[in-house]
Amino acid sequence: YWEEMLSAIGSYAVGAQVLFLGILTFLAYKIPFGLKKTQRSGMALGMCTRNIAAVFVAYFSIVNPDPGVFVMIVLVVPIALVVALIAARIFAKDAKPLSE
């Protein structure tokens, strides 16, 4: 799948995943009514990185799947990690220090 991986880098696939995960993380942080900031940030980070294994299960149940689908699934792992790290830094700047 190396050719497909390299061709995905030059396309809008990576940008689309970053945009999707960024919006998902933002909405998961802003929408939960009644939750504290620490709960919202934890939920937002969880939403950004969830269900990667479930996608692999669904992919392997398809007969003769398109190789591009596998590439997008593999690409979501490092992209989700980067988006989650950026979001965690943003949440950490806004967090209060824990009292001792």
Summarised one tens digit per residue, pLDDT across range 27-46 is: 998 888 888 888 888 888 88
Cβ neighbours of residue 68 under 8 Å, at least 6 residues apart? 4, 8
Residue 51 has a pLDDT of 72
pLDDT band at 22 (very low <50, low <70, confident <90, very high): very high
The structural domains of the chain, with segments of one domain joined by +, span: 2-94
Task: Name the more confident of 21 and 95.
Answer: 21
For the chain, strand residue ranges (E) read none
pTM: 0.76
Question: Which amino acid is present at 49?
Answer: T
Phi-psi region of 47 (alpha: psi -120 to 50; beta: other; left: phi over 0): alpha
